[in-house]
Amino acid sequence: MQLLATAEQMRQLDSSAINTFGIPDLALMENAGRAFVDVFERHVPASFGKSVLVVCGKGNNGGDGFVIARHLANRGYGVHVILLCRKREPKGSAKTNLDTLLKHVSSRRSSIRFDEVLSKGKLSSVPIPTIVVDAIFGTGFTREVTGYYQHVIEWINASGAFVAAVDIASGVNATNGVVENVAVNANLTVTMGLAKVGHYVGAGRDHSGKVEVVDISIPSFLFKPEKNATLRVEALDVQRQLPKRAVSAHKNSVGRVFVVAGSRTLSGAPFMSAQAAMRTGAGAVVLGVPKSLHSMLVRKATEVMITPLDETEEGTISLSALPAIEEKVRWADVVAIGPGLSMNLETQSVVHHLLKTVEKPIVLDADGINAMEARVSILKKRKAATIITPHVGELKKLLNLDAEEIERGRVDVARSASKALNAVLCLKGAPTATAVPTGNVYLNSTGNPGMATAGSGDVLTGIIVSLLAQGMEPGAAAYCGVHIHGLAGDIAATKFGQRSLMALDILENIPDALNEIEGR
C-alpha cells in the first residue's frame, strides 16, 4: 500500500531527517530538484519543446524551483525563472539556492534568464510559456489564494502550458485536498518522500494530474505506517488479500450470504446486491425479499435462492417476517441488510432487531443505515463485526454532521466516525475512504464519475459481503471490495463511456476486474 502524509506529518519527517539524522536541508533540496527533473523528462511530451518557465515563491518550494532551474539548464533546456517576491525575501536554504542560481545567471554561457515579477503589468510582459514548473507555495499552504498570487495562478491556468507542480499544485491543501478559491491545474505533480493525502482527496485530485513520488534521502524506515495511518489501496494489495479456494471447495465452504433487502417499489436493489455477491465468489446466496417480489426475482436471479418474507401493506418487510429471517441468519456466514428496504417504520424496527440480536458479521447499506438515525447506540454495542457503507448524505443524517464538513475532511471524518460507531466505515465518494475502528483509513485508487448512478452502491454491498463470507477480515473485505467495485466500473466505462454507465454494467464486469487483479 502507498502510505500518504499530511502536511504536518511531512514536516515532521523533514525535521527528523535534518535534526535527528543530520541530513542537511540543502542536500534534501538538491535531491528534490534533481529527482524532479528526472521525472519531468520522462513525462513532458516532446511536442512542448525545451523552453521552461519556472515560477518561484519565497519559501522552500521556491528553493526547490531554483535547484530545478539549474538542472534543467544543465540538460539543455532554455529556462526562464520568475520570482514572485523581492530577492531579499527567501531565507535559509531557499536563499542559498537563489544565490547559487543568480551566479549561474550572471555567467555569459548560462541558458537561464531570471526576473523579479512583482506586478500584473510585469507578468503581462512574460512570454506565454509552453511548459511551466509551479514552485510557488508547497505543502505548508492552507489558506485562500489572494491578490497578485491569485492572478499568477489564473495566468498559468489560462496559458495552455504543460504544468509540472513541485510537491503539490499551488493552492491545494496538502492535508485534505481543499482548494479555497483557485489552484494551479497541474498535468504532473512530482512529490517528495511520500505522496500527500491532498493529492487524492477533494479538489486536489483534479489539480494534481499524474502524481509521482521521488526519494530525496529521508530514511525510509521513518515511513513505516503507524496508528491512524492513511494508505492508498492498489491492485497488488487486493491480490494479496483475496481468498484462495481449496481444491476440495464446495458451495457451503466458500461463503454463505443472506441478503435482507427490497420493497415493492425498489426491486432492483436486492437483485443487484445478491448477484454481485455471487459474481464475487460467494458459494451460496439467499435473498430475503417481500413476498410480492418473489415470483419476479425467481425468474430474474436464477442462481440466487429467493425467500419470500411477510410484508406490510406498503410492500415492505414486516415484523412478522422475523422468524423466517432468523432461520436464514442461522444458516448464513454473513448478512447484508439494507438495499431497497424503504423507510417504512415497521421495516426499520426489523433492522433494529437484527442489529441487536444477530451475532454474525453484518454489512449495512442504504435504508439499513437510514434506519439507524438517532439509534446509533445499537451499532456501538454490537460485538460482531459491522461494515457500513454510507454516502455523504447518509453519514450526515447518521451523525448529524454538515455535508460540507464531511467533504472537506473526508479522511478525518471517516476515521472519527468509524471509531465512534465501532464499525468499519466505507464513506462512498471520490475517493471512497474506508476507515477501521483502530484508526487506519484506506483510500481507493479505482473508479470514475460515471459510477455515480443508481444501484452502484447495491453492487458494492454485494461485493463486500461476498468477500466477508469467504473469510476475509472485515476491514480488508471492505477496502478490497471498494477497489474491485471501482475497477469493474473503470472496465465498464471503457466499453460504454462514463455518461452511459449503469449499475448493471459494473455488476457484469466484476469477473473482468477480478481476473485483472489476479493476473489472469
Is pLDDT of 429 > 80? yes
Calculate mean pLDDT across residues 343-355: 97
Q: What is the Cα–Cα distance from 24 to 513, expressed in whole angstroms? A: 46
Q: Could you give the angle at the alpha carbon of 350 between the alpha carbons of 345 and 354, nearest 5°? A: 145
Q: What is the Cα–Cα distance from 289 to 446, expressed in whole angstroms? A: 32
> Predicted confidence band at 83 (pLDDT cuts at 50, 70, 90)?
very high
Calculate mean pLDDT across residues 135-159: 96
At 244 the pLDDT is 87
Is pLDDT of 316 > 90? yes
Q: What is the Cα–Cα distance from 164 to 116, expressed in whole angstroms? A: 21
Sequence-ordered list of residues with C-beta below 8 angstroms from that of 22, at least 6 positions apart, any chain: none
> Predicted confidence band at 374 (pLDDT cuts at 50, 70, 90)?
confident
At 193 the pLDDT is 96
The percentage of the chain sitting over the pLDDT mark of 90, rounded to a whole number, equals 93
> Predicted confidence band at 431 (pLDDT cuts at 50, 70, 90)?
very high
DSSP 317: B
Q: H helices of 194-307, where?
A: 204-208, 235-241, 268-279, 294-300
Amino acid sitting at position 366: A
Determine the topology of domain 235-243+252-517 in CATH. Answer: UDP-N-acetylmuramoyl-L-alanine:D-glutamate ligase (3.40.1190)
In degrees rounded to 5, what are phi and psi of residue 505? -65, -40
The percentage of the chain sitting over the pLDDT mark of 70, rounded to a whole number, equals 100
Question: For 232-276, how does the pLDDT look when each residue is reduced to its tens digit (9 = 90+)?
Answer: 999 999 999 998 887 777 777 779 999 999 999 999 999 999 999
Among 410, 453, 455, smallest CA distance to 435 is for 410
Calculate mean pLDDT across residues 331-339: 97
Domains 2-224 and 235-243+252-517 share a fold: no
At 253 the pLDDT is 75
Beta-carbon-side half-sphere exposure of residue 471 (alpha carbons within 13 Å): 10
Q: What is the Cα–Cα distance from 421 to 71, expressed in whole angstroms? A: 52
User: Which pairs from 377-382 meet CB under 8 Å and 24+ separation?
Assistant: 378/352, 379/355, 379/421, 379/422, 379/423, 380/420, 380/421, 380/422, 381/356, 381/422, 382/355, 382/422, 382/423
Cα separations (Å) of 502 from 392, 434, 506? 21, 23, 7
Contact present, 317 and 309 (Cβ < 8 Å):
yes
Calculate mean pLDDT across residues 76-91: 96
Assign domain 2-224 to a CATH class: alpha beta
> Predicted confidence band at 106 (pLDDT cuts at 50, 70, 90)?
confident
| Helix, strand, or coil (residue 195) | strand
Calculate mean pLDDT across residues 127-146: 95
Q: Calculate the dihedral angle through the C-alpha atoms of 382, 385, 386, 387, rounding to the nearest 10 degrees.
A: 160
Calculate mean pLDDT across residues 64-70: 98
Could you tell me which residue, 140 or 225, shows the higher pLDDT? 140
Calculate mean pLDDT across residues 213-238: 92
For the chain, give every domain's residue range: 2-224, 235-243+252-517
From 69-83, 104-118, 339-353, the region with the lowest mean pLDDT: 104-118
Average model confidence (pLDDT) across the chain: 95
Three-state SS sequence of 425-462: EEECCCCCEEECCCCCEEECCCCCHHHCCCCHHHHHHH
Question: For 381-416, how does the pLDDT look when each residue is reduced to its tens digit (9 = 90+)?
Answer: 999 999 999 999 999 999 999 999 999 999 999 999
Is pLDDT of 301 > 90? no
Q: What is the Cα–Cα distance from 494 to 497, expressed in whole angstroms? A: 6
Q: Which residue has the cell 531527517?
A: 17
> Predicted confidence band at 425 (pLDDT cuts at 50, 70, 90)?
very high
Amino acid sitting at position 411: V
Q: What is the Cα–Cα distance from 204 to 196, expressed in whole angstroms? A: 10
At 103 the pLDDT is 93
At 485 the pLDDT is 98
At 315 the pLDDT is 97
Q: What is the largest CA-CA distance in the chain?
A: 90
At 249 the pLDDT is 73
